[in-house]
Every structure is written in C-alpha cells, then in structure tokens.
Amino acid sequence: MISIKLLASMLLFSAIVLAAGCGGGGGGNPAPIDVVTDGSTPANVMAVTVNGSLCSASSYLNKPCVSVTICNPDLSVCQTVDDILLDTGSYGLRIFQQAIPSLALPQVANGTGSLTGCVQFADGSSLWGPIKRAAVKLGTEPAVTMPIQVIDATFGTLPLPCANADPSPVSSGFSGILGVGVLAEDCGPGCVFSSANGIYYSCIGTSCTGTTVALADQVQNPVARLPVDNNGLLVRFPEVPVSGVPSLDGSVIFGIGTRTNNTPVAPTVFPTDQNGDFRTIFNGINTVGFLDTGSNGLFFPNADPTVLPVCEAPNADWYCPPLARALLATSVGANGSPSQNVSFSVSNFLTLVASPNNVFSNVAGPSTFGFDWGLPFFMGRDVFFGIEGTTSPLGAGPYVAY
Amino acid sequence: MNLRRVTIYLSLGLVTLVAPRWSEATLGEPAESIARDGEALSAVARSSTSRTGYTIAEISSATTCIREYVTTSGTVFAVAWNGLAHPDLSVLLGSYNQEYRDALGRQPRRLGRRQTQVKSDRVVVETWGHMRNLQGRAYLPELVPEGVSLYDIH
C-alpha cells in the first residue's frame, strides 16, 4: 500500500511536470496545476459542511455549504465567502453583492449594454443581477477567470420573470450558490439563438431587454473550466445515523479518474438527457429523476398515503409515517439503460426535527412530478457527475454514477 | 370541437413567453374569449393530441413548451409547461390570477425546496424541476373531466 506521504510526493512531482505545459488557467497568473498544500490534502478537494462551520447560523436543515474564494481577475483583491450552497441541480457561481463588497469585477458586455441574468428556481423564487468576470478558486485548485452572476436586486429594472428577485442572503437562505451539475453553462444553446429566453438581458442604464448570449459569456459551471479536473466531480458524504446528526462533514473532489483520489471503483453509470435528468420509477410511475444536493430532502410523487401520510399543517410538505419506511425505487438511464434498484428510507419528519439535529438521511416530502433525489441520497455514497462534452473512465458526459 | 379555434387560442397562450402584458386568456375560459389577440405571437403550434375526455395542444417558443388541456366542450381546464423559464402566470391564470397571488402571499417560503404547491379555492398551481428544465402546471380541480388522472397533466 502506498503511503499518503509518498502519494503526495508523486502528485507534487506530476504537478511540476504538468505545469510546464499548461500555463495559467485563464486568470493570467501561471499557477501550479496540482498544489499539495500540506502534504495530505490534494488540490482537487473542497470541504463541504452540512449545517456546519461553513454555513451561516440558523441555516435550514440539510443545507450543504462550501467556501469559495473570489478575486478580481488580476488577483489584486480576493474575498473568501462561506455559506455558499453546493448545488448539483444548477450550473454556475452566483453570489450576493453584499458578500463581496471589496471586489471590483468587470461586467460582461453584451452589444452596447451590460449582460445581466435572471435565474428562476423551481420553488418560484428568482435571482437577478449583472454577469461579471471573476477569478474563482475552488478548494486549492488554480484560480480561473469566468463569468459569474453577482446577485443584486437593485440593479437596473427587474424584468417580469425576476419581479420577485431575492434581495438578500437572508431571503435566499444562502450567501451564494455554486452550481456544479452535469452541464457546462446555465442556459446553453437556448440562449445563443433566442433573445426571448427569459434568462439573459442586456441593460443600458436601467433599461433591460432580452438578449442572445454566446456560450462563453454565459455563467459557467466552474468545474468545467478547471485546467485539469474539468470532466466532473465526486460528492462524498459519510453515512448518517437514523436519528440524524447536528452537522456533517463531506467533500467535493474535482475530476473523475484524473487523479488517484477520484478514480471510480465500478459505480453504475446513468446517462442523463440534455437537461441533466435520468429516469426514476417509483410505485409504478416512471418520472424524470435528478440528483440534487440543493434539495434538502427526497421529494417524489405517487406515495401511498397509508404508507407515507404527509405531516399535519403547516408541515404537509413533508412525510410523517408512523413507522420508519424502507422503500425501493428504480433508477434508469435516460436512454433506457442501465436499470438498477435503489433503496431509501423515510422516517417521521416531525419526530426527527424535534431533536437538536439538523442533518437527516430519511426526510422526504411529496412532489407533483419528478423524483428529486436531494441531499439524503448522498449520505453514505460516492456520487459522480460527469460533465457534458467531456470523457472519463466512466464514459462520455453528461451522466451521473454511484 | 373547433380545433382551429382551439389552436388559435392555444397560440395566444404563448403570449406569456413573448408579450408579458397580455391579460386575455386562458384557464377556465372558452377558446372564443381570446381569439381577438392573435397576431402578437412568435410561437408555433406544434401538435394536438386527442385523449379520452380531452385534447392536449402543445405550443412552443425557442425556450419553453406549453401544453394546454382542453375539455371536449372547448374549455381549458389545465396548463402545463417546461423549459428554461416559467411562463408568466398572470396570463395563464387569467381571472384566477388574483386568488392565486393571494394564496401565494399567505404561504411561508420553504428554503431548500425545489417545488411548491399553491392552492386557492378554485385553482392549484404547482412548480417543480431545476435549472434548464423548470416545470409546472396549473389546473382547475372542478373542471378536470371525470376519469382524467392528475398524473397525466405534466
């Protein structure tokens, strides 16, 4: 067995060799590609805490938080921001203006105006603000300059889809959101060809109108822009006991099969469609399924109410079974294969949250359609996300694997 | 049922995506009520599918698909959508919009969720999904034809 120290030395050596040929990652500042900072933590690892030290106080349950360093493109000023939601259900870094007061980030131009984004979420909320270039550092990966969204509801005039844009971290429940799912941009081809996309606007003064945006100017999945570990990521959380824990430490490891620490051991690979969805069958109903660290429970339709009754109001959006339920669903690749059973459990939400704990592997609630495999799914698993347009030992993205 | 009329009506629904100020239309109304505003659209009717007890007409813009569920007597009893952005519900809900807004306003925000359901006396509005594939539906429970499963509306 290779010792950690030896491994670290090998990585450092490979970093020196690789650095010669790769130059900077886009930040204009040539940096070593694989810095081993302390002899044991590889550059491609980012800490995640669920309701732990990286989250703001009074965070909602099952909230995975990371810390991201954001700099002016010339690296003259940097700010490290905690309380950033790790979200495999979206793409790109978005951060509240309030969290980065010291930075002066250049705005991305669009025609004669400045590019501005409106992101709607499935719960009906939205985030609005200018698209700016920033040097983004994930873990101790090299800084890479890319378009991000600076969330600012006071910018310009809110268009209709963002009329309810969140004004502050308190309203959103996070200081920022790091979207690292299987797609490379937040909008993709739909915004390259159509100006009535409801997402991108060109603002001149306070007047903002819908606009087309080249892929390179769209908000980027930061993992897809890394110099080496850009073909995906691995999300890793330990198991959680049935009664929950106060907080949980996990990690995101960038790259798939690019280093010894992200080499997969034969997971099942589920190709996704162009939206990042595969299929999930539960109780005989076949719906879209997606793996989403940004959802704080398992949410699915078609539960038998005698098995999974919802809780009394005002918590009727959670299940409250009288006994813990062991359940089974089937994951299916977007193209029909592979097909594999997945077991999960659901306990009484009200009983669980009556404890001092904040992190639970067995909280679930109803949804209308689509199986939302939220954070509980990730506990006790290694889950891989293969980014579109890349390949790895697991195949060509987009895919999820576990 | 006059399919052409329904098609025009359904096309008008797409105004949600391209001309947000449109106030005519939709849920609970007959096809005739909206034929007056036909020109404004840059969307196309893609298909019309007959099912037992209702018809689904699908229209799409570059970024969002809307499916309208129409009873055999020509009344829209449900609307479903998916795409890059949610459509303007004030248009899709028409005269039901205010009671939806009121119900929404009474509902506390649930952080960490990727779906929501808002029920008023007469209309149910549900949204779900994630970036690149936002989805939702609105329906009038009292007008859903007998024998039609809500699971078919999505």
**DSSP characters for A247-309?**
-EEEEEEESSSSSGGG---SPPEEE--TTS-EEEEETTEEEEEEE-TTSSSEEES---TTTSP
C-alpha closest to that of A163 among A113, A128, A116, A202: A128
Mean pLDDT of A112-123: 94
For the cut 80, the answer to whether the pLDDT of residue A16 exceeds it is: no
**CB contact, 8 Å: B132 with chain A?**
yes
Of the pLDDT bands very low, low, confident and very high (cuts 50, 70, 90), residue A41 is: confident
**Listed range (A84-93, A108-117, B103-112) with the worst mean pLDDT:** B103-112
pLDDT given for residue B64 in this prediction: 84
**Phi and psi, residue B101, nearest 5°:** -60, -40
Tokens read off for A185 = 């941009």
pLDDT tens by residue, B38-61: 333 345 666 778 888 899 988 887
Nearest CA-CA distance, residue B73 and chain A, Å: 27
**CB contact, 8 Å: A188 with chain B?**
yes
Tokens read off for B30 = 């007959």
**CB contact, 8 Å: B106 with chain A?**
no
Of the pLDDT bands very low, low, confident and very high (cuts 50, 70, 90), residue A234 is: very high
Q: In A, which residues are within 8 Å of B117 by CB distance? A: 317, 368
pLDDT tens by residue, A125-162: 999 999 999 999 999 999 999 999 999 999 999 999 99
**CB contact, 8 Å: A222 with chain B?**
no
Of the pLDDT bands very low, low, confident and very high (cuts 50, 70, 90), residue A13 is: very low
Question: In terms of pTM, does the model score above 0.90?
Answer: no
Of the pLDDT bands very low, low, confident and very high (cuts 50, 70, 90), residue B71 is: very high
Question: Are A285 and B128 inside 8 Å of each other by CB?
Answer: no
Q: Are residues A278 and A172 in the same domain?
A: no
CATH number of the domain where residue A345 is located: 2.40.70
Q: In B, which residues are within 8 Å of A161 by CB distance? A: 85-86, 88
Nearest CA-CA distance, residue A32 and chain B, Å: 33
pLDDT given for residue B43 in this prediction: 56
Q: Are residues A270 and A360 in the same domain?
A: yes
In A, minimum Cα distance to B42 occurs at A196
**CB contact, 8 Å: B68 with chain A?**
no
For the cut 80, the answer to whether the pLDDT of residue A35 exceeds it is: no
C-alpha closest to that of A83 among A104, A101, A103, A60: A60
Instruction: Indicate the number of domains in chain A.
Output: 2
Mean pLDDT of B90-106: 90
Tokens read off for A210 = 């819908």
Integer Cα distance of B47 and A348 in angstroms: 44
Question: Are B113 and A172 inside 8 Å of each other by CB?
Answer: no
Q: Are residues A190 and A54 in the same domain?
A: yes
DSSP-derived 3-state class of residue B31:
helix
C-alpha closest to that of A347 among A308, A301, A304, A302: A308
Contact of B18 with B6, CB cutoff 8 Å: no
CATH number of the domain where residue A110 is located: 2.40.70.10
C-alpha closest to that of A45 among A305, A261, A263: A261
Q: In A, which residues are within 8 Å of B14 by CB distance? A: none
Query: Domain of A152?
Result: 48-180+185-219
**CB contact, 8 Å: B135 with chain A?**
yes
- Confirm whether A168 is domain-assigned: yes
In A, minimum Cα distance to B18 occurs at A196
Element (H, E) at A7: helix A4-22
| Number of CB atoms found within 10 A of residue A243's CB | 12
Q: Are residues A297 and A191 in the same domain?
A: no
Q: Are residues A277 and A129 in the same domain?
A: no
Q: Are residues A162 and A272 in the same domain?
A: no
Question: Are A367 and B64 inside 8 Å of each other by CB?
Answer: no
**Listed range (A74-83, A242-251, B21-30) with the worst mean pLDDT:** B21-30
